[in-house]
Chains A and B, each alone.
Chain A
C-alpha cells in the first residue's frame, strides 16, 4: 500500500530570496515550515478537521489505554484514578477463562484464514476460465451480494437456517436424522461460523484477484504454450505467479486481523451454551467491560490483543519482504 510515486514537482520559479541561497540548486531543496505554511495555509486548513478527528477518535483512545495500568472508576477521569502497574495484565494471564478464549480465538482465526483466504483465489481462477461473459458477470454479481448485508441480517439468516425447522434440519431429516439445535451445540459453532464467513466474503474476495488476472501478460501464456505447457501447467507457472503480489498483500492483511475474528458476528450468534467453542478474546473483553463493568481489566485485554495484532502485521510484512519481495510498505 505504498503511495503512488510521482516525479518531483518542478522547481518553483526562482524568487529573489532563493537566488541568494548559496547551496547548489536542487529541485528537492527543502522549504522551511514558515514558507510552506505561508504558501499552503489554505491546504493545511482543510486538513484541520480531519486531523482533529484522528487525534480525538483514534489517537486519544490509544492514550486512553493507560487505564489498563490504572484503576478506573466509572464516571471518573478517563485516564483512571491511580497507578496499579501490571496488575490487570497479571490478572488475565493467570485467568483460566482468558486462556480458554485465547485458544478459541486462535482456532477460529486459523480456520477462517484456512478457508477465507484460498477460496476466493480458487473461485477467481474458476471464473477466469469462463468464456461466456454474461454467465461470468451473473455469477460475480450474485457472489458479491452477501458482502452488502448487515452482520445482523447475516446472523438472523444463520439463525433461521439452523433453527429446528430450518433448512439445515430439513436436510438432516432427509437422511433420517433427528433435528439438531445447531446453535445450542458447542461442537457445531465453528462450522456454522466459518461457513457463514465463507458465504459472506468469498465472492467479494475474488474482485482483486480478477483484477490482477487481467494484468498478466498474454505473451507469457503464448510462451508457455510453445514450451508445451497444458492449461494446468499454464495456471501453475504463469497465472499463480502473476497474482502472487495480490495474494501476499491480502495474506498479510488477513494475518493482521487474525485475532480480531468476527467479533460482531460471534456476539450475535453465541450464547452461554456455546461459550466453550465460541467465546473469543474480544467477546470476553466485551462481557468483562460492559457486563461486569471491569473497565481496566477489559482495557488490559484489549491492549494485549491490539499489540499482538500489530506485531503480527509487522512480522508478516517483514517476512514477506525478505522472502517474496512484496510488502505493504
Chain B
C-alpha cells in the first residue's frame, strides 16, 4: 500500500446483473442513504436548535429546521468573556502541543527508520510496548502533579506529546524514501542533522501535514487532561467549558449573570456545540483525505 493507492478503485466484477442483484443494489442504495441521514441528523438538529427560540425547543418542536429564528443565544455566548478566553486557550494549547509533538515524533521516527542502527529493535520496542500497557490514571496523575505541572499549559501539552500510532505512520513513510538520496547527501558532506533538515524534511511535507492534522485535531478535541489538571477557569480549554455547561456546573458569574441565560440553557448548549465544532467542520472537507491516507499507511505498513 503506497501513498498513491486509490481507496475506491472501481470494482469490476463483471456484468452479472441478475435480477436479484439489481434488487440488492436498490436496497443497498437505500440503506446507505439511511446511514447518511442517521449520521447527519444530530448535526442538523443541533444547528436548528441553536437558531431556534427556546419556547419551540421546550415544546419539542425542533427537528432539522429552526423554529422561531432567534440569535439571542449566540449573542449571549459571544458576550461571555470566559467562553472566548477558553476558546483562545484551546487555540494556544493546540498550536503549542502540536509543535512539540511534531518535533518529537519526527526525530524519533527518523531514528527508527534507519535499518542499520544498532539497538533499533529496542528503541521500537520501547514505543510499541506502551500501546498495550500503560501506567494508568493514578500514577500518571501523581507524576504530573509532583512535577509541578498542575494548572500550567505543560500538563496539557507534554504528557501526550507522542502518539505511537503517529510515530509508526511516520516511520513507515521515512522508510519508503529512497536511501540513495541520503547517501548522496552524506557523500557531499552533510551530517545527520543536515540530511534530516535539508533533504528528508523537504521531501516529507505531505506526511508532516498529515501529522499536524492528526495531532491538531486530537488536541483540539481533548478535554480530560485539562479537566484533570487545571482548576483555574481562565486556563481551561473550550471543551471543558462545554463539559461544565452540560454538567450544569458553569461558574455562577458567567451563567447566572442574568435570568435570560438560565432559560436559554438548551439553546446555549446547542450554540456552544456549534461554535466548538465549527473549526473542525470548516476544515474537514479539505483535510479528510489526508487522514484517510495516513490511517491506511499506518495500519498497512506500521
Chain A interface (Cβ < 8 Å from any Cβ of B)? 1, 3-4, 6, 8-9, 30-31, 33, 36, 40, 42-44, 46-47, 49-51, 53-54, 56-65, 67, 72, 78, 123, 126-131, 133, 135-146, 148-153, 155-157, 159-161, 163-167, 169-170, 173, 179, 199, 202-203, 207-208, 210-211, 214-215, 218, 221-222, 225, 230-231, 234, 249, 256, 264, 267-268, 282, 285-286, 289-290, 295, 298-299, 302-303, 305-306, 309-310, 313-314, 329
Contact = CB atoms under 8 A, between A and B. Distances in A.
B130 A58 contact: yes
Given A153-B276, A161-B42, A218 B12 contact: yes
12 contacts: A30-B118, A31-B118, A36-B117, A46-B111, A62-B135, A144-B288, A153-B242, A155-B246, A210-B8, A222-B14, A231-B21, A267-B224
A167 B44 CA distance: 12
A160 B62 CA distance: 11
A46 B110 contact: yes
Contacts of A57: 140, 143, 158-159, 161
A282 B137 CA distance: 9
A33 to B, nearest CB: 7
A211 B224 contact: no
A84 B266 CA distance: 50
Contacts of A161: 42, 45
Q: How large is the interface on B (under 10, 10 to 19, 20 to 34, 35 or more residues)?
A: 35 or more
A78 B42 contact: no
B74 interface: no
DSSP class of B's interface residues: helix, strand, loop or mixed? helix
Contacts of A151: 221, 223
B299 interface: yes
Contacts of A138: 36
Contacts of A60: 135, 139, 143
Given A1-B168, A58-B135, A298-B137, A36 B119 contact: yes
A289 B141 contact: yes
B7 A214 contact: yes
Contacts of A8: 115
A128 to B, nearest CB: 6
B34 to A, nearest CB: 10
Given A47-B123, A64-B142, A210 B25 contact: no
